[in-house]
Chain A
Amino acid sequence: MAIKIGIPRGLWFYDYYPLWKSFYEELGAEVVLSNPTNKKILDEGVKNTVDEACLPVKIFHGHVLDLKDKADFIFLPKIMSVYEKEYICPKFCGLPEMVTHSIKGLPPIIDTEVNFNRSRKSLMRTVYSFGSYVTKNPITIRRAYKKALESYHDYKLKIKAGNYPINGDFSSRDEKKSSITIAVMGHSYNIYDNYGSMGLINKLKEQNIHVITPEMVDYRKINEYAETLEKKMFWSYGRKLLGTAMYFTDAKNIDGIVYLSSFGCGIDSIIEELVERKTRKRGGMPFLLITVDEHTGEAGVNTRLEAFIDMIEWRKRNESNLSTHG
């Protein structure tokens, strides 16, 4: 019987899951995904995490619990750094430890360390280490990795073409022509999690609004802008968001920004502030910050979104002589 590998549907899932899924499937393992975030997953996650952790980390714990009895291995890599001289949030770096100390009785976890902070030399070694849980054959692993890369690039291209990977699925696509374009910014695991974000993207689309996400912006443009920062931004997610914000401010191809942040996010406490300074204060761009945690009421978010959209419409009519506050 094939080994069952469980991939939790949270955090880096939205960026990398096609890579991992096809990698393990190529190697002959069976991949089990946890269910899309729902109330039960959230509640279980909240119960089993330290109070101070942020919403996405709590949701992630819920996903791991969801997989607990369904898989032989749980895929929980220790992702320290994916680009040179950059890091991901400290909670990502310590995630395997955090999960294993908070949840007892888990199946064995795949906690290979991914660290390209100094160089990418260790890339193939890391890939073998991931593959070694299924097979020891380096040739099979290399072949599977190539296949996996292809499907990963496909995934990225699909997003760039205007598909939203809501919960990791491409069910919704942007087709209708609309007069308003809004950028939804935030960490990929916040904006694409339909339950965690309270359906933010879908809500905007229901109002016939064209939505852009940072993943749809050409990353060369993002890099170009991020290079001009006075100090190198050392968080990969933060760098992407800042670069995107600077690009939008210059290009002026959107009507407003909705920034989705989770309460207690250390990265957003800095990035959100800088994004707001660059877009709203200096660029005169309408900006709305929505902070979510496990207690956020949906009605309040709806009201704020409606007010924000009304304001954008009025601004269009009144030649932008209206405040940029959300």
Chain B
Amino acid sequence: MKATFPHMGNQYVAAKVLLEELGVDIVIPPQCSQDTLEIGTKYSPESICLPLKVNIGNLVESAKAGADTVVFSGSCGPCRFGYYSVLEKEILRELGHEMEFILFDPPQGDYRTFISRIFKLAQTSNPYKIGKALRRGVQILYQVDALDKAAHYKRPRQREIGKVDFYYDKFHKEVRNTCCYKETSRLIEEIKQQIMNIEEDPTREVLKVGIVGEIYTIIEPFVNLNVERKLGEMGVEIEKSLEVSRWLTEHLFLSPLKLTSEGKIHKAAKPYLKTMIGGHARETIGYTVEYAERGFDGVIQIYPLTCMPEIVAQSILPTVEQDYNIPYLCLIVDEMTGEAGYTTRLEAFIDLLRRRKERQESEELLSRH
């Protein structure tokens, strides 16, 4: 068995460690590239959302590198992500790649199938071994998310622009050659230290912007055209509403047991959206409210074209924008998104935020005397 999985930001590092600790052979799909997207667009249904297209690209590239098993997660509606696995299997079969899927859907009460799938993937039913691998995988997940946070913090403050990404890119190159928990963990810590040691420019005015929207598009840098790097270099520190580590703990472990820590966010979203409607619409609204309350300078929503839950959120967000007096920008991505236009919109938005902040500050200054 040679297992593979589609990309989603940094989660591949954790998935890699998890599978390596289990002793499973893996193929990491090449970094998402224009080729990936082209393969995906060619073989996917025309009107499906962008994540599936990129997934298909990843899986086809992995299949060519010898993978024969796909490890994938799922859901049970109402967002279409729940049917990704079925469609992906169909498309791959049509292309002549007979791949086996090992799915980790939320158990919905059926823990037996869920556990049997874990055994199948692990090729062992030793709970100690599985538990250990799982713990280590999750640990790495938290570590890479911490690394991301360090990069988000440093990017707008670095004296020499591009320094953070020098180390960040180095990490992605080197991590493919490491094996197992210890080495990977050490590498992450090392890079994190290097990033934290970068010299800062204390005179920079740093803006804070919250990124909300559909989880895949805000996490996968290829799909959101590296929004974090772009904003970082414009002197903006960002915070993302969703992270894979949080998503995993919430969805796979906590939500069947009703222990989610997202109550606060849901409460914040309640005046605008009463119930869950699938995807992350409720989180999008809840986090926008939270960011506004924490005094962020602006909020950017990113989602793939035709994403159903986010469309609902998009029609509600202008009201939040007015109620909380926080500027909001909506960016929609698909395979046709042009980078220049995207960057222009980002720049214009950041200029606006900067002007707004300056004016606020000078007003405060004036009113004091």
Contact = CB atoms under 8 A, between A and B. Distances in A.
Interface of A: 49-50, 52-53, 78, 80, 85-91, 93-95, 97-98, 101-102, 113, 115, 230-235, 261, 263-270, 272-274, 277, 291
Q: Which of A89, A94, A230, A266 has the most CB of B within 10 A?
A: A94
B279 interface: yes
Contacts of A233: 83
Identify whether the interface residues of A are mostly helix, strand, loop, or mixed: mixed
Given A52-B306, A266-B80, A94 B47 contact: no
Contact of A52 (B79, B86, B305): B305
28 contacts: A50-B314, A50-B315, A52-B306, A52-B314, A53-B311, A80-B275, A80-B277, A87-B77, A87-B278, A90-B308, A91-B277, A91-B308, A91-B311, A93-B276, A94-B281, A94-B312, A97-B274, A97-B316, A98-B316, A101-B315, A231-B83, A231-B85, A233-B83, A234-B82, A235-B78, A265-B306, A268-B47, A269-B47
B318 interface: yes
Given A88-B78, A101-B316, A102-B315, A94 B49 contact: no
Interface residues of B, number: 41
Contacts of B79: 90, 266
B307 interface: yes
Contacts of B274: 78, 97, 113
B142 interface: no
Contacts of B311: 50, 52-53, 91
Contacts of A88: 78
A268 B305 CA distance: 14
B30 to A, nearest CB: 26
Contacts of B305: 52, 264
Q: Which 5 A-B pairs have the closest CB atoms?
A: A234-B77, A87-B78, A94-B312, A93-B277, A273-B45
Given A53-B315, A269-B80, 10 more contacts: A87-B78, A90-B281, A97-B273, A232-B76, A264-B306, A266-B79, A268-B47, A270-B87, A273-B45, A274-B90
Nearest to B306: A264
B272 interface: yes
Contacts of A85: 76, 108
Contacts of B313: 94
Interface string B279-309: 1010000000000000000000000011111
Given A113-B274, A273-B45, A234 B76 contact: yes
Contacts of B194: none
Q: Which of B47, B76, B281, B307 has the most CB of A within 10 A?
A: B47
A106 to B, nearest CB: 14
B48 interface: yes
Nearest to A277: B90
Contact of A90 (B47, B78, B318): B78
Nearest to B278: A90
B102 interface: no
A91 B47 contact: no
Given A53-B311, A266-B306, A270-B45, A93 B316 contact: no
Contacts of B76: 85, 232, 234
A91 B83 contact: no
